[in-house]
Chain A
Amino acid sequence: MMRTHDDQAGPGPAIVFWLWMTVTAGGLAVMLVIVVGGR
């Protein structure tokens, strides 16, 4: 059975996940606005 270190994980993994989600989704949104606005 898989056992993780969840009880000691702290907020780090969630911060890393949302940092990357923000960078990716934010990057896509900004690029979309630029190319749609440029047409």
Chain B
Amino acid sequence: MTMRRMLRDNALGLFFLLLFLLALGGQAVAGYFRQVEEMAEHGRAAVDFLSFVVSPDFVVDVAENWQSEFLQFSLFIGATVWLVQRGSPESKKPGDEGLESDADQLVGEHAPADAPSWAKADGWRRTVYGNSLLIVMGSVFVLSWLIQSLGGSIVAGEEAVMHGMPAPTWLEYVASADFWNRTLQNWQSEFLAVGTMVAFSIYLRQRGSAESKPVGAPHRVSAVESE
């Protein structure tokens, strides 16, 4: 296999990895300059760039966006098992709600010869593998939300001390307006994006996109139904 062919076959995953790294780098640089400005306003010496990148201030900004994205996809993965939206290519067709039969899911005796080995296995292996996407995405959500709360409590503590106030404990911070403001402002935009994607894709199309029904597909059918 040539390198060119390998890049083309995996372009989607690599394209978003490149975008992610560029955006994260940009966030670090912009966040650093904002920090420098704030320090100057308070008449304090600025930290160097590397110290900023490994500071709780930067971490909390990264983690609060991570948790909301992974919550969004975890909910989307889980909700689309049990809920349908007629006409949306993001949905199964009405009547297919639930975990589906072993035959539909190609597990156990229905697994083809080249199926993943844990799909052929019985018991806990099949259960774990059958939920592995949600388990991993959900774990990243929980961990990044925990990191946001820990980082946020450090930052809130530093600010409190600067103003001569006692630093909040982690539990006090988790119950604070700052924590829920940061959390919910991210959640609302994620739920908006998922909801609009589900709803708009009933009537709107993008020719050639895997996220869209074929342009000529009727509004009432999902992409799954039209296959």
Contacts and interface: CB of A to CB of B under 8 A. Distances in A.
B112 interface: yes
Contact of A20 (B9, B13, B55, B147): B13
Interface stretch (B41-49, B56-64, B121-129, B201-209): B56-64
A32 B140 CA distance: 12
A31 B121 CA distance: 36
A30 to B, nearest CB: 8
Interface residues of B, number: 28
A34 B59 contact: yes
Interface in B100-142: 106, 112, 114, 140
A28 B143 contact: yes
Contacts of B88: none
Q: Which of A27, A35, A38 has the most CB of B within 10 A?
A: A35
Given A28-B144, A38-B154, A6 B114 contact: yes
Interface string B1-37: 1000110011001100100100000000000000000
B1 to A, nearest CB: 4
A34 B147 CA distance: 9
A24 B17 CA distance: 11
A27 to B, nearest CB: 8
A13 B14 CA distance: 10
Q: Which of A2, A9, A16, A20 has the most CB of B within 10 A?
A: A16
B151 A35 contact: yes
Contacts of A31: 59, 62-63, 144, 147, 151
B21 to A, nearest CB: 8
A12 B6 contact: yes
30 contacts: A2-B112, A8-B1, A10-B1, A10-B5, A10-B6, A10-B9, A11-B6, A12-B6, A12-B10, A13-B9, A15-B10, A17-B13, A23-B17, A24-B140, A27-B66, A28-B140, A28-B147, A30-B54, A31-B144, A32-B143, A32-B147, A34-B55, A34-B59, A34-B151, A35-B147, A35-B150, A36-B150, A38-B151, A38-B154, A39-B150
Interface of B: 1, 5-6, 9-10, 13-14, 17, 20, 54-56, 59-60, 62-63, 66, 106, 112, 114, 140, 143-144, 147, 150-151, 153-154
